[in-house]
Amino acid sequence: MRVLVVDDDNTSRMIMQSAVETLDHECVLAADGDQAWRSLATLEPDVLITDRSMPGIDGLELCRRLRAQPERPYTYIVLVTSLAERADVLAGMHAGADDYLTKPLDPFALSTRLIAAERVTQLHAQLRRYQRDLLDLAHTDPLTQLRNRLSLNDDLATLHARADRRGTGYAIALCDVDFFKSYNDTQGHQAGDDILRQVSSALAKNARAEDLVYRYGGEEFLIVLPDNAMSAAQHAAERIRQAIQDLRIPHPHGVNGVITISVGVATLTPAHPETSDDVLRRADQALYRAKECGRNQIATSSGPGG
């Protein structure tokens, strides 16, 4: 483990360093709380062993600041004090410490604390991985492995706020698999699911690295193209439409006998401020026009009323 030892007394630091390294752990030293706090900006120690009483940022304040950053990997905190009063120990635990040691240092007591620290930090690391996995699952469509509607809501809110701050825009391409219901009805739901997987894979492969691809619902897919004007977005949509047609997946009732998509493209521009829901609504209206005009084509909406 990596252990950060904080003490304004040089002798105490050296004794602690020797004890920590004897137990085969990496030891990093800080001469006071201010130095420790600066180190914590980049350092992610598994364990923080900090003196209770120091000038500037003391041990209690260090505990409070560290616990006020829940997004950080968990650091096990051991508060060191020369005071034997229970109230002092209790104040440290309320501030965020996990355990305590008293001076002069007892190597056996330190060893037991580090054993406990290793177990606790491993459990927190495992919990953090589980949380990340659950978050990924919650934002992923299980059939296509694309981002889902929940992910779109979060991403679009962030992108829209950024565009508003910077005075920039973005584009949305809403795609619908043509005559999908008739394919599903005649070929079966398993075959329909396979079509959705193939289409989603082609969309992801033909999108740019910065584009975001979602399963919007049913046979609808949505692509967010950051910082794209209408001309670039229309070009990207045409590339994607062509890529699906080029799959040449047979469809007895499809356009030219193959699976195709219709696409509605809408852009947000600084000249026409509106909400992300407005842009989505216009993309949906454009998609409706593309389908009404014969499918396997693109319709656009460059601004409100466009």
Q: Which of 219, 220, 238, 274 is catalytic?
A: 219
Q: Is 219 a catalytic residue?
A: yes
Q: How many CB atoms lie within 10 A of CB 132?
A: 10
DSSP string, the chain: -EEEEE-S-HHHHHHHHHHHHHTT-EEEEESSHHHHHHHHTT---SEEEEES--SSS-HHHHHHHHHT-TTSPP-EEEEEES---HHHHHHHHHHT-SEEEESSP-HHHHHHHHHHHHHHHHHHHHHHHHHHHHHHHHTB-TTT-SB-HHHHHHHHHHHHHHHHHHT--EEEEEEEETTHHHHHHHH-HHHHHHHHHHHHHHHHHHS-TT-EEEEEETTEEEEEEET--HHHHHHHHHHHHHHHHTT--B-TTSGGGB--EEEEEEEE-TTS---HHHHHHHHHHHHHHHHHTTSSSEEEE-STT-
Catalytic residues: 219
